[in-house]
Amino acid sequence: MKAMILAAGRGERMRPLTDTTPKPLLEAGGKPLIAWTLHALVRCGVSEVVVNLAHLGGEIERALGDGAQWGVRIRYSREPQGALETAGGIAHALPLLGAAPFLLVNGDIHTDYPFASLVGGNVPAKGTLAHLVLIDNPPHHPAGDFGLAEGRLTADASVRYTYSGIGVYDPALFAGVPRGTRCQLAPLLAPEIARGRVSGEHYRGRWFDIGTPERLAALDRSLRIESSP
């Protein structure tokens, strides 16, 4: 299974850090955020990764190269400045991703989620267009995004969870998005959730969304404490 890391965003809430450094290259625990994700993907058997680029994309490409230093092949999907949003960026990268379902990971998260459980090829199940990993609602997103009932996402539920930025997607979900156009992910998922064609799971392990400098600093402290003798 191929993987795609979303790395094109401007990171407005991370300014001024992201004025000169793209968010995926900001460091925590002595390594760039995207390096933690690459190492985790390689450990679970991913051998080819697509990274989309826009804001300071050249910096990311120079840092990662062809992926040899990570033990993976990296290919780049270049977007115009301003980027194409999540679904638009994925649709733009489809020629590199191929026809099989692929693993998608946001470039601004840190997690101990076991990616191997998704790479085996069992998700999304036949007749399902996406499988999303959900987590407990963090303080900065208390309302959540989706409900979860019997392994399927629901739009309305008394208990809601937050999308983690990790999922497996069938390229067919993005077939109607013209390449080079801006498109968000939620409008594509909504009708398929209503049709029962989006599965999900609730993960209770470690997960950080690096959306502000304060959260980056908190992750850095946590990782350094863990690595100290």
Percent of the chain past pLDDT 90, that is, above it, reads: 75
Q: How high is the pLDDT of residue 153?
A: 95
Fold of the domain built from segment(s) 3-227: Spore Coat Polysaccharide Biosynthesis Protein SpsA; Chain A (3.90.550)
**Terminal Cα distance for the chain, rounded:** 36
Short-list 177, 211, 206, 169, CA closest to 4: 169
Separation CA 209–CA 44 (nearest Å): 22
Domain layout of the chain by residue ranges: 3-227
Long-range contacts: 93-97, Cβ < 8 Å, 24+?
93/4, 93/50, 93/52, 94/171, 94/174, 94/179, 96/50, 97/2, 97/4, 97/50, 97/171
Short-list 146, 181, 138, CA closest to 163: 146
Average pLDDT, rounded, for the chain: 92
Pairing of strands 207-209, 109-111: antiparallel
Query: Is residue 105 within 8 Å of 6, Cβ to Cβ?
Result: yes
**In the block, which residue shows the tokens 């989620």?**
113
DSSP 161: B
> Kind and range of the H or E element at 13?
none
Q: How high is the pLDDT of residue 228?
A: 62
Query: Is residue 109 within 8 Å of 34, Cβ to Cβ?
Result: no
Is pTM, for the whole model, over 0.75?
A: yes
Separation CA 161–CA 188 (nearest Å): 19
Query: Is residue 87 within 8 Å of 185, Cβ to Cβ?
Result: yes
pLDDT surpassing 80 at residue 137:
yes
Percent of the chain past pLDDT 70, that is, above it, reads: 98
**In the block, which residue shows the tokens 């998704």?**
118
Helix, strand, coil % (nearest 5) of the chain? 35, 25, 40
Q: Poorest-confidence range of 12-21, 94-103, 195-204? A: 12-21
